[in-house]
Amino acid sequence: MREDRVRAVLENVAEPVEEFVMTMDELREIAKKPRPTTYIGYEPSGPIHVGVLFTIQKLAKLASLGFHSIALMADLHGFLNGKGSLEILKEVSLTYWREVFTTLGSPDIDIVLGSDYQLTADYELDMLTLSQRVTARRAWRAMSMIARETEHPTVGQHIYPIMQALDIIYLGCDLAMGGTDQRRIHALARELFGSK
């Protein structure tokens, strides 16, 4: 058993694992894998804030313990959320954000640009197929609090949680991580795909 991996995953977790999308037994099974995959998604819409530093350190720690750690630069998600043009978000991802991850985290963190796979025909068809299984109300519930508090959320903001759930599959993740605002999206992914 890799209890060091389990401890690293649970370090600084705000809420108990059992209460939302994963049981401790499932986490222990993931920790036993030779090279489990984990990811955290980032909307690269501006300067990195202090909260991001903790997640960079978490990915680096897990990489040092044998995880394939992925930092998803969610440029297309940022575009859907109205954070800027896709071109600018992509450029910021590949320069500023990549440099911060390499410098403050670890060169072992795999930086993945969302638009590299999210604009493929297969991904788009899978997203449309999933959108037929998720009600508008369920997508709204999975949206972040910021988007839900918007007076008139866009269709793009409703698509956002569906895409994020699909990202977990496309990245081959055993363990999706994020802030407490992400737990509803992770719960949606579990509803759609079950546990692996």
Per-residue pLDDT of 138-151, as tens digits, reads 988 887 655 666 77
Q: Which of 167, 44, 60, 50 has its CA nearest to residue 95?
A: 44
> E strands, the chain, where?
37-42, 68-73, 110-113, 175-176
Q: Given this model, what pLDDT does residue 148 score?
A: 62
The answer to whether the beta carbons of residues 52 and 42 sit under 8 Å apart is yes
Please report, for the chain, the start and end positions of each structural domain, with discontinuous segments joined by +: 3-193
Q: Given this model, what pLDDT does residue 182 score?
A: 83
The answer to whether the beta carbons of residues 185 and 165 sit under 8 Å apart is yes
Q: Given this model, what pLDDT does residue 78 score?
A: 92
pLDDT at 163 over 90: yes
* Token pair listed for 16: 């108990």
Mean predicted confidence (pLDDT) in 63-85: 95
Mean predicted confidence (pLDDT) in 96-121: 93
- CATH number of the domain located at residue range(s) 3-193 in this protein: 3.40.50.620
Q: Given this model, what pLDDT does residue 28 score?
A: 93
Mean predicted confidence (pLDDT) in 166-195: 88
Q: pLDDT grade, residue 41 (50/70/90)?
A: very high
Mean predicted confidence (pLDDT) in 27-44: 95
pTM of the model: 0.90
Report DSSP letters for 37-63, one per residue.
EEEEEE--SSSPPHHHHHHHHHHHHHH
Q: pLDDT grade, residue 64 (50/70/90)?
A: very high
